[in-house]
């Protein structure tokens, strides 16, 4: 009788441990959240896009977004950003990756920002050459879509793996959009940059933590 | 209960018993085989191929690794022994089972006793059923809120896909594996199946398949759901290779299982077991085998093409290089539709077999029932495009497939008529198996009617790809097949194991499960009608109330399954009350044998005469036909 | 044993008649108006009418089975469970009942198939009909053509009759025949406009045509109805049917607003094969 109970209980313990491992190690293993910095003009978000994640990452060959700060320091591999509701959000993206080209050239135009424009290396622009796009930062539910100019292929000192420093070849894109009601929104890249997969849209393009993430409007 | 507990004095010690061809060796050689094959494949996969360098994963290595793992697993179990012996010139031998082997060790090995294999199926499929059920609970946990995500978005899709794939892959053998293997040879008066080693192979391949599917989480999971639509599946990273491996093993296992059962029924019936005397469950099994043998290879071929697209850069399913997404959809559903009837027909068979016992009347409309099941099997090959009504197929086809799909409801209706006819003027005993059979009728009625909605093209424009379809197939597959599965468990498990299951607790389990099931899936018809698509992680806030109701009901349904587990453990591990030889007073042949059935089944091959359901002619307790009981005192 | 003279069959028939007589009007008049997809378009109204007919016909069928089963469980239950296990009469079939069952169910099924086909052929029912539709509503040569471009993971729309302008949102004029050309730029999606009663799969490299006759102004939910990857659940938006003058204003505004992007768009085509097609660059 005791032997049976030991068997049943140890089998149950094994099952519970397996389920716990499944849930904790795999299912809820999601990237962290980054808060946007606050100022009198609204919220500020500093992001970076790179050709390859850091060497210690599970996918060191995958393109990825990172969260950084105004001096391009303190890189964190988060793709959930928290911003306040009904506020102007000023976003700066340090773009370190080479170009891949757009699939849908419609997205070569800046959409959903204040003024319908963005600042590319200080210059105000409305569109970029579709073939020069490296990535896009888009929040479809808010109508926001920003094409990010790629680093030229013969640029000096391109960045390899994250983190990248300002001295490496990059383009700086800034834009402002306004958040509305509270809620959970998702953002994604639209440029086929998941190299090695069909349509270049697999791998990092489909994985939260690389080219996809969430926007928590609180 | 463990091997050592029943070890007689002088038997070899545990270490010696662990060595040899068994599950442990299979697992060890399986893992070793995976790594060896993975490493060898690394030599041929072309490490210089850009795509592998860029994604960091090699589908060639992983697929060849799976192949090596499965071969190692099967070799460790001993499946290569007989072929190697034959190649070396040894004569053929048919395994005979004269002596009952005590203890649990026989279940952890290659066994050629159909009763042992049936119990192995029961346990193995049970384990994977609970894995699939766990994933279902996780899905409903995620759907409690549209804006708070418990799991990662990628992982959620893998959970959805794993739930569907595990259930579809495992439950297709859900009744044929545990029950047909056990009872069909007995019903037709045979001591074994036509191909005992293949019977064992189908089981162990299915177990390997389950392990392969679970391994997807180590490769990033797969994002396509159980239907694996291209080119999305080609886009996925290596987790999809596990899906391919899983369904390849499942389809081969299905095909062989169907072949084995069909050949057994056709060639190994005892004298007097004419076609018109064949129990209706055997007819259902035969109809299912037809589908398994003809449809499963379609899936194997389709998966091979998908694997080629992923490893050799062929373009079967990639538009722009000459391939077509339609090709996958059609190939998949040519398999997929007969597949769902593989799930449904055994349910018909169980219900039609059990209701005469508990209504104490012969099966009403025997020929009609056979025609119904064979009709469903035949027509199931001609309806698959109803999954593709709005997909852009040639519009001229749609009225034809609407007609063919509506027509398939006709033979399905025969089963209902036979159920109602058998119950008419009967002396109905509401035992636990009977309750599950009656619930089958209730659930499958709504499953079938909702199917008619889906088959009507204008109605399907709204319901395709929505939760309405989900509710429809859960009512037919879960409300139909799974309820019949539980009816069969409560009916036959005492005979198979020799121990009783509590009738009182079984009734609690039944009502708990029945109410929770309808509470879970009934509202999903409304959820689909209200516009919620399938396989989504978020939904409009107006549907929060319905989704929360469904989730809570689903948790209760899950708990009812755990309660069932408690009933089984209590009955088989703790109480161990010996079961009577024929508690249901059934006149079917297997009930004339002692409980538990001895290893050699029966002493002399029976000679059958009389009707298969001789109720109403003689008082209860006389079994069908005139077979010689295996041991004295069985009657 | 003595034969049971109770008129069971008559009782069941009466119970069935009562149940059907009560439930069918409830279903038609109470549930019916709430059935999807509503009356947002001609096709949607047609589908709703179809659903009402299907639901109304399923009531007598369901009642036949449920009333019979319920009566049988009540009337023929073995009351003396502790006594000897007695058998019922050895009835193995009844060819007359089987024949009538076959006739009635076949008639029902053939009616449903015919009814569905007739309704389908009337207005296309809003479903995708592939590149060569079977049902072309009257006036389809002058329909407003709208291309729905499904991509991972949003819909964009092109209006070929307005210079091939592409817009991120969908607006349609009221009381107009719209010819949707649904296609995909990558994997299989499905364009589902719920209140319009339109669903058409978006296949890469294929043109899937669906028709809708819009009615009055309304907002409609657009969901992707075919699993297309990680953001499938988030691939939804709201479309609008607006008055015809409002639509004219809107499309002009779109041409101005998205003019810069339009310069780099490829020429309008019923399907596209964007690069890169296979794996790897």
Average of per-residue pLDDT across B367-382: 96
**Partners for C (CB, 8 Å, 3+ pairs)?**
A, B
Note whether A168 contacts C: Cβ–Cβ < 8 A: no
Contact residues on chain B for C72, CB-CB shorter than 8 A: 420, 423-424, 426, 428
Task: Round to whole Å and give the CA distance between B383 and B378.
Answer: 10
**Interface contact C151-A190, CB threshold 8 A:** yes
DSSP classification of residue B631: S
Contact residues on chain B for A22, CB-CB shorter than 8 A: 217
Residue B514: exposure state from Cβ atoms within 10 A (0-12, 13-18, ≥19): buried
**Interface contact C281-B50, CB threshold 8 A:** yes
Residue C15 has a CB neighbour count (10 Å cut-off) of 16
**Interface contact A126-C258, CB threshold 8 A:** no
Closest by CA position to B186, among listed B122, B121, B118, B120: B118
Note whether B366 contacts C: Cβ–Cβ < 8 A: yes
pLDDT tens across C187-240, in order? 999 999 999 999 999 999 999 999 999 999 999 999 999 999 999 999 999 999
Name the token pair of C32: 């019916």
Q: What is the pLDDT at residue B626? A: 41
**Interface contact B392-C86, CB threshold 8 A:** no
Query: Is the backbone peptide bond immediately before B565 cis, with ω within 30 degrees of 0?
Result: no
What residues contact residue B501 under an 8 Å CB cut-off, 6+ apart?
B432, B490, B493, B494, B567, B568, B571, B572
Report whether B565 contacts B464 (CB < 8 A). Answer: no
Report whether B481 contacts B174 (CB < 8 A). Answer: yes
Contact residues on chain C for B389, CB-CB shorter than 8 A: 127
For the stretch B345-358, what's the b/e string if a residue is b when 16 or more beta carbons lie within 10 angstroms of its beta carbon?
bbbbbbbbbbbbbb
Q: What is the pLDDT at residue C223? A: 96
Mutation target among A79, A98, A104, A211 for the C interface, most CBs of C within 10 A? A104
Note whether A157 contacts C: Cβ–Cβ < 8 A: no
Q: What is the pLDDT at residue B629? A: 40
Contact residues on chain B for C101, CB-CB shorter than 8 A: 413-414, 417
DSSP classification of residue C159: E
Q: Which residue has the higher pLDDT, B141 or B313?
A: B141
Note whether C109 contacts B: Cβ–Cβ < 8 A: yes
pLDDT tens across B413-436, in order? 999 999 999 999 999 999 999 999
Q: Quickly state the pLDDT bin for B302 (edges 50, 70, 90).
A: very high
**Interface contact C234-A140, CB threshold 8 A:** yes
Note whether C118 contacts B: Cβ–Cβ < 8 A: no
What pTM did the predictor assign?
Answer: 0.93
**Interface contact C265-A106, CB threshold 8 A:** yes
Report whether B507 contacts B446 (CB < 8 A). Answer: no
Q: What is the pLDDT at residue A20? A: 94
Note whether A116 contacts C: Cβ–Cβ < 8 A: yes
What residues contact residue B93 under an 8 Å CB cut-off, 6+ apart?
none
For all residues of chain C together, what is the average pLDDT? Answer: 92
Average of per-residue pLDDT across B41-46: 80
Report whether C200 contacts C180 (CB < 8 A). Answer: yes
The complex scores an ipTM of 0.94
Between B and C, how many CB-CB pairs are < 8 A?
A: 324
Note whether C84 contacts B: Cβ–Cβ < 8 A: yes
Please report which residue ranges of C27-94 form alpha helices under DSSP H: 42-75
Q: What is the pLDDT at residue B3? A: 41
Q: Quickly state the pLDDT bin for B632 (edges 50, 70, 90).
A: very low
Q: By mean pLDDT, which of B5-9, B590-594, C29-33 is the weakest?
A: B5-9
Q: What is the pLDDT at residue B499? A: 94
Note whether A141 contacts C: Cβ–Cβ < 8 A: yes
Pick from B54, B159, B569: CB nearest A196: B54
Closest-CA residue in chain A for B566? Answer: A8
Report whether B253 contacts B202 (CB < 8 A). Answer: yes
Q: What is the pLDDT at residue A74? A: 87
Q: What is the pLDDT at residue C208? A: 95
The CA distance from C169 to the nearest CA of chain A, in Å, is: 9
Average of per-residue pLDDT across B293-313: 93
**Partners for A (CB, 8 Å, 3+ pairs)?**
B, C
Note whether A140 contacts C: Cβ–Cβ < 8 A: yes
Distances (CA, A) of B301 to A216, B251, B308, B318: 45, 10, 11, 17
Average of per-residue pLDDT across B15-40: 89
Mutation target among B128, B139, B233, B235 for the A interface, most CBs of A within 10 A? B235
Residues 298-337, chain B: which have Cβ within 8 Å of C?
Answer: 313, 315, 318-321, 324-326, 329
Contact residues on chain B for A20, CB-CB shorter than 8 A: none
Task: Round to whole Å and give the CA distance between B353 and C97.
Answer: 21
Average of per-residue pLDDT across C119-145: 90
In the block, tokens 């899905």 appear at B139
Pick from B54, B155, B234: CB nearest A198: B234
Query: Which positions in chain B have a beta carbon within 8 angstroms of at least one beta carbon in chain A?
Result: 1-2, 5, 50-56, 134, 138, 147-156, 159, 217, 220, 223, 231, 234-237, 318, 538, 569, 573-574
Task: Round to whole Å and give the CA distance between B555 and B417.
Answer: 34
Note whether A106 contacts C: Cβ–Cβ < 8 A: yes
**Interface contact A27-B54, CB threshold 8 A:** no
Task: Round to whole Å and give the CA distance between B614 and A23.
Answer: 54
pLDDT over 70 (residue B1): no
Q: What is the pLDDT at residue B20? A: 83
Note whether A207 contacts C: Cβ–Cβ < 8 A: yes
Question: pLDDT below 70 — which residues of chain A?
Answer: none
Q: Quickly state the pLDDT bin for B602 (edges 50, 70, 90).
A: confident
Q: Quickly state the pLDDT bin for B603 (edges 50, 70, 90).
A: confident
**Interface contact B56-A30, CB threshold 8 A:** no
Q: Measure the CA angle with vertex B451, ends B449 and B456; round to 5°.
A: 105
Residues 230-259, chain C: which have Cβ within 8 Å of B?
Answer: 230-234
What is the DSSP annotation of C161-187? GGTTEEESS-EEETT-EEEEEEEESSS
**Interface contact A111-C185, CB threshold 8 A:** no
User: Could you give the percent of chain C with pLDDT greater than 70?
Assistant: 96
Closest by CA position to C126, among listed C193, C60, C176: C193
Residue B470: exposure state from Cβ atoms within 10 A (0-12, 13-18, ≥19): buried
Q: Which residue has the higher pLDDT, C3 or A184?
A: A184
Residues 64-123, chain B: which have Cβ within 8 Å of C?
Answer: none
Contact residues on chain C for A107, CB-CB shorter than 8 A: 261
For all residues of chain B together, what is the average pLDDT? Answer: 90
Distances (CA, A) of B624 to B606, B619, B620: 11, 12, 11
In the block, tokens 């094409």 appear at A147
**Interface contact B54-A61, CB threshold 8 A:** yes
Note whether B547 contacts C: Cβ–Cβ < 8 A: no
Task: Round to whole Å and give the CA distance between B466 and B534.
Answer: 5
DSSP classification of residue B179: I
Q: Which residue has the higher pLDDT, B401 or B395?
A: B401
Residue B56: exposure state from Cβ atoms within 10 A (0-12, 13-18, ≥19): middle
Closest by CA position to C45, among listed B614, B461, B268: B461
Residues 605-624, chain B: which have Cβ within 8 Å of C?
Answer: 611, 613-621
Contact residues on chain A for B50, CB-CB shorter than 8 A: 195-196
Residue B164 has a CB neighbour count (10 Å cut-off) of 22
Q: What is the pLDDT at residue C81? A: 83
pLDDT tens across C12-42, in order? 999 999 999 999 999 999 998 889 899 999 9
Pick from B360, B414, B452: CB nearest C112: B452
**Interface contact C264-A145, CB threshold 8 A:** no
In the block, tokens 């319905």 appear at B546
Mutation target among A30, A106, A191 for the C interface, most CBs of C within 10 A? A106
Q: What is the pLDDT at residue B628? A: 40
Between A and B, how many CB-CB pairs are < 8 A?
A: 87
Start-to-end Cα distance in chain A: 57
């Amino acid at each position: 009788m005791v032997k049976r109970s030991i068997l049943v209980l140890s089998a149950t313990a094994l099952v519970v441990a397996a389920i716990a491992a499944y849930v904790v190690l795999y299912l809820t293993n999601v990237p962290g959240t980054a808060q946007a910095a606050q100022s009198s003009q609204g919220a500020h978000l500093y992001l970076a896009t790179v050709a390859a994640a850091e060497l210690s990452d599970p996918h060191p060959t995958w393109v990825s977004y990172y969260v950084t700060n105004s001096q391009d320091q303190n890189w964190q591999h988060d793709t959930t950003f928290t911003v306040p509701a009904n506020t102007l959000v000023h976003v700066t993206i340090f773009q370190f990756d080479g170009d891949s080209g757009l699939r849908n050239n419609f997205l070569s135009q800046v959409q959903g920002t204040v003024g319908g424009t963005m600042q590319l290396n200080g210059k105000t622009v409305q569109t970029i050459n579709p073939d020069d796009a490296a990535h896009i930062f888009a929040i479809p539910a808010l109508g926001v879509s920003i094409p990010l100019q790629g680093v030229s292929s013969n640029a000096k000192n391109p960045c390899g793996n994250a983190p990248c420093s300002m001295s490496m070849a990059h383009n700086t894109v800034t834009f402002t959009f306004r958040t509305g009601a509270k809620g959970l929104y998702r953002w994604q890249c639209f440029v086929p940059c998941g190299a090695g997969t069909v349509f270049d849209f697999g791998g990092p393009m489909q994985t939260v933590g690389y080219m996809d993430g969430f926007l928590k409007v609180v | 209960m463990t091997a050592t507990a029943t070890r007689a004095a002088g038997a070899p010690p545990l270490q010696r018993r662990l060595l040899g061809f068994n599950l442990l060796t299979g697992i060890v050689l399986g893992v070793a085989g995976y790594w060896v094959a993975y490493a060898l494949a690394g030599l041929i996969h072309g490490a210089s191929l850009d795509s592998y360098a860029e994604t960091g994963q090699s589908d060639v290595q992983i697929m060849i690794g799976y192949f090596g793992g499965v071969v190692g697993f099967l070799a460790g179990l001993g499946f290569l022994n007989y072929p190697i012996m034959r190649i070396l010139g040894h004569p053929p031998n048919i395994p005979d089972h004269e002596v009952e082997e005590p203890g649990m060790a026989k279940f952890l090995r290659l066994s050629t006793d159909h009763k042992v294999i049936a119990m192995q199926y029961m346990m193995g499929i049970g384990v994977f059923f609970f894995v699939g059920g766990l994933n279902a609970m996780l899905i409903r946990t995620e759907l409690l809120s549209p804006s708070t995500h418990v799991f990662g978005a990628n992982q959620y899709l893998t959970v959805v896909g794993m739930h569907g794939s595990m259930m579809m892959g495992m439950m297709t053998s859900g009744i044929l594996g545990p029950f047909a293997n056990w009872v069909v040879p007995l019903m037709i008066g045979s001591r074994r199946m036509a191909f005992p080693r293949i019977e064992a192979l189908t089981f162990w391949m299915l177990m390997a398949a389950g392990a392969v599917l679970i391994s997807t989480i180590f490769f990033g999971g797969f994002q396509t759901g159980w239907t694996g639509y291209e080119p999305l599946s080609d886009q996925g990273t290596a987790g999809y290779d596990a899906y391919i491996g899983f369904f390849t093993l499942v389809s081969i296992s299905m095909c062989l299982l169907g072949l084995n059962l069909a050949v057994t029924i056709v060639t190994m019936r005892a004298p007097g077991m004419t076609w018109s005397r064949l129990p209706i469950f055997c007819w259902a099994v035969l109809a299912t085998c037809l589908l398994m043998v003809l449809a499963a290879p379609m899936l194997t071929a389709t998966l091979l093409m998908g694997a080629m697209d992923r490893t050799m850069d062929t373009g079967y399913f990639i538009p722009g290089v000459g391939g077509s997404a339609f090709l996958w959809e059609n190939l998949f559903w040519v398999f997929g539709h007969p597949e769902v009837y593989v799930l449904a027909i055994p349910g018909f068979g169980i219900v039609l077999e059990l209701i005469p016992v508990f209504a104490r009347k012969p099966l009403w409309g025997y020929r009609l029932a056979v025609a119904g099941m064979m009709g469903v099997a035949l027509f199931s090959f001609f309806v698959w495009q109803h999954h593709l009504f709005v997909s852009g197929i040639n519009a001229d086809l749609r009225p034809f497939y609407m007609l063919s799909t509506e027509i398939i409801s006709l033979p399905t209706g025969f089963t209902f008529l036979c159920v109602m006819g058998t119950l008419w003027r009967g002396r109905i005993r509401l035992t636990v198996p009977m309750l599950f059979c009656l619930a089958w009728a209730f659930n499958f009625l709504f499953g079938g009617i909702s199917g008619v909605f889906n088959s009507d093209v204008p109605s399907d424009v709204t319901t395709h790809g929505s939760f309405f379809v989900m509710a429809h197939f859960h009512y037919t597959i879960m409300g139909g097949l799974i309820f019949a599965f539980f009816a069969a468990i409560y009916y036959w498990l005492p005979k198979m194991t020799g121990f009783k299951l509590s009738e009182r607790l079984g009734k609690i389990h039944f009502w708990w499960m029945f109410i929770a099931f309808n509470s879970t899936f009934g509202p999903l018809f409304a959820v689909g009608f209200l516009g919620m698509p399938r396989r989504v992680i978020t939904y409009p806030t107006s549907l929060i109330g319905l989704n929360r109701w469904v989730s809570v009901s689903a948790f209760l349904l899950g708990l009812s399954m755990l309660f069932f587990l408690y009933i089984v453990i209590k009955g088989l591990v703790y109480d161990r009350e010996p079961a009577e030889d024929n508690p249901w007073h059934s006149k079917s042949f297997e009930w004339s044998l002692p409980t538990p059935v001895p290893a050699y089944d029966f002493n002399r091959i029976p000679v059958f005469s009389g009707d298969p359901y001789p109720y109403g002619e003689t008082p209860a307790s006389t079994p069908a036909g005139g077979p010689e009981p295996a041991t004295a005192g069985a009657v | 044993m003595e034969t049971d003279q109770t008129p069971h069959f008559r009782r069941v028939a009466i119970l069935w008649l009562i149940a059907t007589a009560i439930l069918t009007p409830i279903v038609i008049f109470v549930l019916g108006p709430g059935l999807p997809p509503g009356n947002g378009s001609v096709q949607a109204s047609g589908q709703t009418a179809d659903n009402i007919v299907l639901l109304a016909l399923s009531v007598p069928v369901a009642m036949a089975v449920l009333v019979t089963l319920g009566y049988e469980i009540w009337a023929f239950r073995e009351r003396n469970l502790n006594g000897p296990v007695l058998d019922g009469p050895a009835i193995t079939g009844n060819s007359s009942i089987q024949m009538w069952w076959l006739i009635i169910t076949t008639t029902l099924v053939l009616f449903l198939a015919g009814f569905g086909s007739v309704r389908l052929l009337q207005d296309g029912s809003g479903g995708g009909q592939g590149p060569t539709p079977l049902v072309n509503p009257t006036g389809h040569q002058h329909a407003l053509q709208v291309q729905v471009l499904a991509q991972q993971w949003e819909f964009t729309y092109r209006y070929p009759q307005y210079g091939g302008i592409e817009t991120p949102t969908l607006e349609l004029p009221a009381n107009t025949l719209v010819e949707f050309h649904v296609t995909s730029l990558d994997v299989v999606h499905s364009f589902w406009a719920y209140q319009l009663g339109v669903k058409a799969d978006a296949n890469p490299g294929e043109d899937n045509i669906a028709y809708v006759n819009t009615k009055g102004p309304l907002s409609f939910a657009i969901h992707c109805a075919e699993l297309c990857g990680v953001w499938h659940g988030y691939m939804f938006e709201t479309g609008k049917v607006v008055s015809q003058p409002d639509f004219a204003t809107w499309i002009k505004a779109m041409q101005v607003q998205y003019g810069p992007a339009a310069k780099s768009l490829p020429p309008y085509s019923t399907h596209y094969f964007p690069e890169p097609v296979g794996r790897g660059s």
